[in-house]
Chain A
């Protein structure tokens, strides 16, 4: 019989709002893992904690803003990126991270996503892709694979999903990566990397949602999804971006890795020489 070990402190206490625990995430949910990676990266970033700001939209992933002990903004569905744009441009000294879900960022907020990438706004975006709308109960969304079941695609999803790295690359982002919640070290390292990289940086984190996507698609729990990640993740080398589509249900590779790393100058609002603050 194992005994629960209760610890008094946690290395991330400083970064998390422990007064808000327990969190709302379901058992087996991957969002907490991604959030932990973000917290660890903040801790290691060397950037004072008070210069980090996090902005979320709405969704399970969107709740992350409420758990990290930073200036944190839980906004409206889809609008995290423009809200964060306002913060960043009003105070360029801040390290502004957008932490939100696939539905929030790529469906209702999809227009903001591509335009912020096109402008190369200096934002760090962590997108938890669980292939469905978790918060509202497992509906299909912009990343749900064709044919996959969801509460609003009972006969299988008739649509084709976004290949997010391909979309972001085409839109103009400086940095685009994809990992799964199995790759905690890589996620943390990548977040550290994008903290240091100017411009629009996007990390897609594939994540389990056992009660939403998992339940309807024969991935009964988080552990099973982790097993899939372990068996099928392939570090993409020289894979054309348009071939990065994923379908957990099929015996196909899950391509992970860094796909775009370029140095287009980040957006800077025009300033005339001699202006008040230039």
Chain B
């Protein structure tokens, strides 16, 4: 393996490796992690690559330490990430909240496996979605993407760093064992073609802020994101997980708390249009739409095409981003389409979200995990939905 930072070229690569290469191409120079199947290949790749390019691979003693070290590295200005799977994600939950509260950009890839508990360590799952969204205590908002191929892991890892930096928020990549381990073509562009969004930095040098000091948590009105000062920059900032005022100082008042937590939620909600990524197929004339993501979306695509071949007007809405949830988009779609099918490798996490948006129960194709859902049961659901729609029209 070469010491180049961006391995420009065509590769036959698994998703885990593509994640590490995406991160390195994005300028990630700190990885802190603890081995866990099926994400271990990410750590292994980093352990080989970081010493080649002047980055740091740090194997921590557990996932509590991994996420803390990643946040620390981010506070010092590094693009930093960790990789894990369900049990490790559970251990990271408290400090995911710290990342949200301190507004420290970072990337966490969760190669999901069959869960809960130790579950199916070597087999796929898609059931950490709600934990990612709600698992840390309190009200908060994060961003999460769900790639459907190794190429997309590569691309979304880069995007995740950009989003994390622009919005000062932890970004999760909710991948799964199928995508993490499958080997496919991954095309890595020239380094100049790798998009890079920089963190917003304080507009003036430290001296400018005088006696009062730089207000490290005073957001810009436009995007609700405060510029970030790093450890060693000279601004002498204070970061605390306690409720804090714009200066960053603890402020134990209900008003400040309400204002802060509301802003942290709002900065994601208000920028949702920028954060949401969707792929659609045949939506224009669709009678029934399958909503899916990650590895299951591959089967959903097959099922939709097969249904079309049978004369069923099926469409596909692939969620590339899971959080923030594309509520408005699905609400709008529900004006035109009456029938939805949600296909996911869990027992109904995203179906419940979809039902909340469309306002009525929808058909689900679910499996608790362990084996990727085959196109056939999705096609069956499409046939049943089509029959129902036809029945309704008669």
A and B in contact, CB less than 8 Å? yes
Could you tell me which A residues sit within 8 Å of B by CB distance?
A: 17, 19-20, 49-51, 53, 55, 58, 65-66, 69-76, 78-79, 81-91, 93-94, 111-112, 115, 269-272, 274-278
| Docked CA distance A276–B27 (Å) | 12
A94 near B231 with CB under 8 A, answer yes
Q: Would you give the 0/1 interface string for B217-246, flagging 1 where the beta carbon is closer than 8 Å to chain A? A: 000000000000111111111111110000
Contacts of B3 in A (CB 8 A): 272, 274-276
B64 near A91 with CB under 8 A, answer no
Min CB–CB distance B312 → chain A (angstroms) = 52
Min CB–CB distance B262 → chain A (angstroms) = 22
The answer, yes or no, to whether B152 is at the interface (CB within 8 Å) is no
Q: Given A53-B231, A86-B68, 8 more contacts at CB 8 Å?
A: A66-B249, A73-B231, A75-B68, A90-B77, A91-B76, A112-B64, A275-B52, A277-B53
| Docked CA distance A112–B74 (Å) | 19
Q: Would you give the 0/1 interface string for B62-101, flagging 1 where the beta carbon is closer than 8 Å to chain A? A: 1011101111111111101000000000000011001000
The answer, yes or no, to whether B110 is at the interface (CB within 8 Å) is no
Q: Can you list 21 A-B contacts (CB < 8 A)?
A: A17-B238, A66-B250, A69-B236, A73-B102, A73-B238, A74-B240, A76-B94, A81-B65, A83-B68, A83-B72, A84-B72, A86-B30, A86-B32, A86-B68, A87-B75, A88-B76, A89-B73, A90-B74, A90-B77, A94-B76, A112-B65
The answer, yes or no, to whether B272 is at the interface (CB within 8 Å) is no
Q: Which of B57, B62, B64, B73 contacts A87 (CB 8 A)?
A: B73
Contacts of A55 in B (CB 8 A): 72
The answer, yes or no, to whether B141 is at the interface (CB within 8 Å) is no
Contacts of B194 in A (CB 8 A): none
A87 near B58 with CB under 8 A, answer no
Min CB–CB distance A246 → chain B (angstroms) = 27
| Docked CA distance A82–B82 (Å) | 13
| Docked CA distance A87–B78 (Å) | 9
B71 near A269 with CB under 8 A, answer no
A72 near B238 with CB under 8 A, answer yes
B70 near A91 with CB under 8 A, answer no
A90 near B73 with CB under 8 A, answer yes
A82 near B60 with CB under 8 A, answer yes
A269 near B239 with CB under 8 A, answer no
| Docked CA distance A69–B238 (Å) | 8
Contacts of B66 in A (CB 8 A): 82
B61 near A111 with CB under 8 A, answer yes
The answer, yes or no, to whether B173 is at the interface (CB within 8 Å) is no
| Docked CA distance A20–B61 (Å) | 35
- Tell me the nearest residue of chain B to A121, going by C-beta: B58
The answer, yes or no, to whether B5 is at the interface (CB within 8 Å) is yes
Number of interface residues of B (CB under 8 A): 52
The answer, yes or no, to whether B51 is at the interface (CB within 8 Å) is yes
| Docked CA distance A227–B360 (Å) | 73
Min CB–CB distance B142 → chain A (angstroms) = 17
The answer, yes or no, to whether B54 is at the interface (CB within 8 Å) is yes
Min CB–CB distance B146 → chain A (angstroms) = 27
Asked if A86 meets B238 with Cβ closer than 8 Å, knowing A94-B232, A111-B61, the reply is no
B71 near A83 with CB under 8 A, answer yes
| Docked CA distance A93–B233 (Å) | 12
Dominant SS at the A interface? mixed
The answer, yes or no, to whether B267 is at the interface (CB within 8 Å) is no
Q: Which of A76, A86, A91, A278 contacts B98 (CB 8 A)?
A: A76
Contacts of B318 in A (CB 8 A): none
Q: Would you give the 0/1 interface string for B243-264, flagging 1 where the beta carbon is closer than 8 Å to chain A? A: 0000001100000000000000
Contacts of B75 in A (CB 8 A): 73, 83, 86-87
| Docked CA distance A261–B66 (Å) | 29
Could you tell me which B residues sit within 8 Å of A by CB distance?
A: 3, 5, 29-30, 32, 50-54, 56-58, 60-62, 64-66, 68-78, 80, 94-95, 98, 102, 206, 229-242, 249-250
- Tell me the nearest residue of chain A to B32, going by C-beta: A86
Contacts of A49 in B (CB 8 A): 236
| Docked CA distance A23–B234 (Å) | 24
In this complex, the member of A51, A65, A69, A270 whose beta carbon has the largest number of chain B beta carbons within 10 angstroms is A270
Asked if A65 meets B68 with Cβ closer than 8 Å, knowing A53-B231, A53-B232, the reply is no
B54 near A277 with CB under 8 A, answer yes
B72 near A73 with CB under 8 A, answer yes
Min CB–CB distance A36 → chain B (angstroms) = 18
Min CB–CB distance B252 → chain A (angstroms) = 10
B61 near A76 with CB under 8 A, answer no
Contacts of B5 in A (CB 8 A): 276
In this complex, the member of B94, B231, B235 whose beta carbon has the largest number of chain A beta carbons within 10 angstroms is B231
Contacts of A87 in B (CB 8 A): 72-73, 75-76, 231
Asked if A85 meets B72 with Cβ closer than 8 Å, knowing A111-B65, A112-B61, A275-B3, the reply is yes
Contacts of B229 in A (CB 8 A): 71
Contacts of B61 in A (CB 8 A): 111-112, 115
Contacts of B239 in A (CB 8 A): 72-74
| Docked CA distance A18–B301 (Å) | 62
Min CB–CB distance B226 → chain A (angstroms) = 15
A90 near B240 with CB under 8 A, answer no
| Docked CA distance A112–B57 (Å) | 17
Closest 4 CB pairs of A and B: A86-B72, A277-B54, A86-B73, A82-B65
Min CB–CB distance A122 → chain B (angstroms) = 13
A276 near B54 with CB under 8 A, answer yes
Contacts of A51 in B (CB 8 A): 232
Min CB–CB distance B107 → chain A (angstroms) = 14
| Docked CA distance A86–B68 (Å) | 7
| Docked CA distance A115–B64 (Å) | 13
| Docked CA distance A93–B230 (Å) | 13
Contacts of B78 in A (CB 8 A): 86, 90-91
